[in-house]
Amino acid sequence: MLFLGCDSGSTKIAFSVADDSGRVLVKTEFPAITLFRGGGPTYAADMQRDVRSILSRAGIEPGKLTSAAFGLTGYGESVTSVEQMRSAVEGALPGVPCILANDSVAGWSGALKASPGIHVVSGTGSVAYGEDGRGGAERAGGWSLDYGDEGSCFWIAVQGFNAFFRQADGRMPRTLLYDYIMDLFHLSDPLFFPGTLEEWTHEGSADQVAAFQRHVLKLAQLGDPVAQSIYDRAAQQLSLLVSALKSRLHFDEDRPVRVSWSGGLFRTGEWILTPFRKYIEALGCEPTPPAYGPLAGAVGYAARSSLSPDRVSAIMAAVDSAPSSEP
């Protein structure tokens, strides 16, 4: 049996094909393809091109695949996205059983070995997904950077900007944060900051705004109390996603719910992990470091209806540890 997995995010799209023995035939990634940049026809053409390339590298025809799973950013967030993404995938793999899901599902599958629990993702945006083992599956958060995604890198950056504004006009005592931003952006007057910020973020580019999280982190490391409090509040916001899912799903009451995590914010280490664990444990949950990445999770998600949980976990381990080849 052969299984194809795809993890498609905002910066790249990754694929892998593995067999039921754990042999990885191919693992590679390409530049991101998104439905919202080129529209349905362009997205379909790009998806079909990348899938053809993967199958060629694996040396197989589409009909040899047992199943495929695609974790796609934006999937399920509008009727149009569901229809156009499904059409693109089915056009790329005609006749192959394909599972399409939001990329948060692939993250959950890899992190928790496709077993009951909740997975929190915090990168540019934030979202959480969980399954309870009784057929229940739910999502929380991910409502968009403009209206939600609390606890994300984007949210942290905005909290930093907001703290500067309040320190500039006297609503908050000035801390190191104020002078740091004045110096970083070479401001002679704090009123110049909104315009300067528009230029620096390329008129509000989400990735560029989110990148300012690194400066908030530096301020926290330097001892700025406002920056430090932002990370605590981010962890609290992410824990609310867990609380919401725990209340909506039906987990076994005789064991704590396992909660895992992934995404760029968690690479800040203990600044986010220490308060996150604190809030998670207060909910009676068990913080669980992620086992595998989302690409391995997608392959495992494709295989889980055909193989035992132990076999699925072994395949995910093989994909996760396999080197990625050049595109």
- At 270 the pLDDT is 94
* 124 and 88 in a common domain: no
- 176 inside domain: yes
pLDDT digits (tens, 9 = 90+) for 270-290: 999 999 999 999 999 999 999
Stretch 223-243: mean pLDDT, rounded? Answer: 98
Non-local (6+) Cβ contacts of 155 within 8 A are 126, 149, 234, 237
Kindly state whether residues 17 and 64 are assigned to the same domain. yes
Between the alpha carbon of residue 180 and those of residues 147, 164, 224, the distances in Å are 28, 10, 10
Q: How many domains does the chain have?
A: 2
In a domain, 204, yes or no: yes
Whichever domain contains 196, its CATH number is 3.30.420.40
Q: Are residues 277 and 136 in the same domain?
A: yes
Q: Within a 10 A sphere around the Cβ of 161, how many other Cβ atoms?
A: 18
Q: Is 149 found in the same domain as 98?
A: no
Q: Is 156 within a domain?
A: yes
pLDDT at residue 38 above 70? no
Q: Measured between alpha carbons, how far is 40 from 141 in angstroms, rounded to an integer? A: 26
Residues 301, 152, single domain; the answer is no
Q: Would the pLDDT of 217 be above 70?
A: yes
Summarize pLDDT for 160-214 with one digit per residue, the tens: 999 999 999 999 999 999 999 999 999 999 999 999 988 888 877 888 899 999 9
Instruction: Identify whether 147 is part of a domain.
Output: yes
Given strand 137-141, what is the order of strands in its sheet?
Answer: 137-141, 126-131, 117-122, 258-262, 286-287
- Find the domain containing 31 and state its range: 2-110+292-321
Question: Looking at the domain assignment, is residue 241 inside a domain?
Answer: yes
In a domain, 327, yes or no: no
123 and 49, same domain (yes or no): no
